[in-house]
Structure 1
Amino acid sequence: MTDDSARTEQPTQAQPAASTHAPWLWADNPSEHPDRERLWSGKWLWFPPICLLDAAWETIRTATRAGLLGYRSKAATLINTRPGSDDSRRPICVYTHDWRDLDDARRVLNALRDLGIIDVLLYKTDSDTRRGWYGGGASTYKAFPGRRDMNIPRRTELLLEHHHTARRDARKAAEQRRHALTQRAGLPARG
């Protein structure tokens, strides 16, 4: 039997540059449902240097909890490293519901710029992360330093084009089915 009162509480205001108890610190937008399924989610990635990590995380955490950014954010702690990555920086991720929603991705990008973040920002889908795609070429969108516009690589343009074509075709097929059902409903019953 364990004594639960002896457990160390995770600090609610933990600082990523001093944290060694977990690889990530999280902040949620309180107006979002935490268990909502997010098949198309993605995130803006910012890589501040470790010397600025705590202040950067405080800015992002506060804005996320105030509902100004996406549905969730996270900051890598000192124990979060990947082979071949720059050990002088750690990522901070700001999540959006759907990488295909360009308006929302732009809204969050502009909110990050409004917070004073002028560094390059990369956007990556969670499906690419699950596939293990990292580094050059893994970005879905890119915002150059200080810019509010998104650079959209050709790979992403093709994916968006395919998505929009599939949605258009599905709407057309649904309209044809509705039309056929309406036509059948207007026919006299067969005897």
Structure 2
Amino acid sequence: MTCKNAPTEQQTLHSPATCMHEPWVWADHPHDDPDCERLWSGKWLWFPPLRLLDDSWNTIRTATHDGVLGYRSKAATLINTRPGSDDTRRPICIYTNDWRDLEDVKRVLNALRDLGNVDVLLYKTDSETRRQRYGQGASTYKALPGRRSMTVPRRTTLLLEHHHTARQHARKAAEQRKRLRTKAPAPAT
């Protein structure tokens, strides 16, 4: 999947608590390539209360612009609601390139903690969002309040093991093909 179009300048200027014409406000890493493919992207989700939304967003936006967090962040505005969601909070999403890259996912978690975030943080893959999976059971990772470690649900562990096994098989197959090509007789002229 190709990245969504980069946000307009207007979407990056407004505070989420006052913006009434866009569902999201955005911030991009200064060296982000908006045209790149991110098949495995995901995001940390933080749900600050409305009274702290603008201050929380200003912290995340600045850290994203400074290159401290992932490649992009966004915050839901007041018009962004889903049926059954908590209307007293809005999500702030902090994106990473690859949910399977545990080192980078943990790096962003630690950066969020360094910025003073002590709340529960949930991590969700963009593929789960595209499948419209929300709420309990949709998280790939979870960081408990104030913790720098993350809980990895069994379902995620199985996905990571499957991915690792598939990569090993692909490497072996590629090595076999390479050996066969090098052993193949030269064509007759």
User: What TM-score do you get using the length of structure 2 for normalisation?
Assistant: 0.92
- Partner SS, residue 10 of structure 1: helix
How much does 1:11 deviate?
A: 7.2
Q: Which residue is 2:87 aligned to?
A: 87
Q: Distance in 2 between matches of 1:83 and 1:38?
A: 28
Q: Please show how residues 28-107 of structure 1 align to structure 2 within 5 Å.
A: 28-107=28-107
Partner of 1:145: 145
Secondary structure in 1 matching 2:19: coil
Matches within 5 A, 1:13-24: 13-24=13-24
Give the secondary-structure state (helix, strand or coil) at the position aligned to 2:73.
strand
Contact residue 99 and residue 125 of structure 2 kept, 8 A: yes
Does residue 175 in structure 1 map to residue 175 in structure 2? yes
State the partner residue of 1:119. Answer: 119
Please tell me whether the aligned partners of residues 12 and 27 of structure 2 are also in contact (alpha carbons under 8 angstroms): no
1:162-191 Cα deviation digits (max 9, x unpaired) = 11100010000000111111122xx57669
Give the superposed CA RMSD: 1.6
Q: Does 1:133 align with 2:133?
A: yes
Summarize the Cα distance change of 1:188–1:123 in structure 2 as closer, same or farther, 3 Å threshold: closer
State the shift of 1:12 in Å.
4.9
* Cα distance change of structure 1 residues 189 and 141 upon mapping to structure 2, 3 Å threshold: same
C-alpha separation in 2, matches of 1:168 and 1:12: 42
- Match of 1:156, SS state, is helix
Greater radius of gyration (CA):
1
> How many Å separate the matches in 1 of 2:168 and 2:141?
23
Question: CA separation of 1:188/1:121 partners in 2, compared to 1, >3 Å: closer, same or farther?
Answer: closer
| SS class of match (2:13) | coil
Residue aligning to 2:10:
10
Gaps of 5+ in 1: 1-8
TM-score (norm 1): 0.91
Question: Does residue 1:162 correspond to 2:162, yes or no?
Answer: yes
Q: Give percent identity, aligned residues only.
A: 71
1:25 Cα deviation (Å)?
0.1
**Distance verdict in 2 for CA 1:188–1:87, change over 3 Å:** closer
2:12 and 2:107 map into 1 onto residues whose CA distance is: 28
Distance 2:128 2:12 in 1: 30
Give the distance between the partners of 1:54 and 1:167, measured in 2 at CA: 43
Letter in 2 for 1:122: L
Q: Note the C-alpha offset of 1:10.
A: 3.1
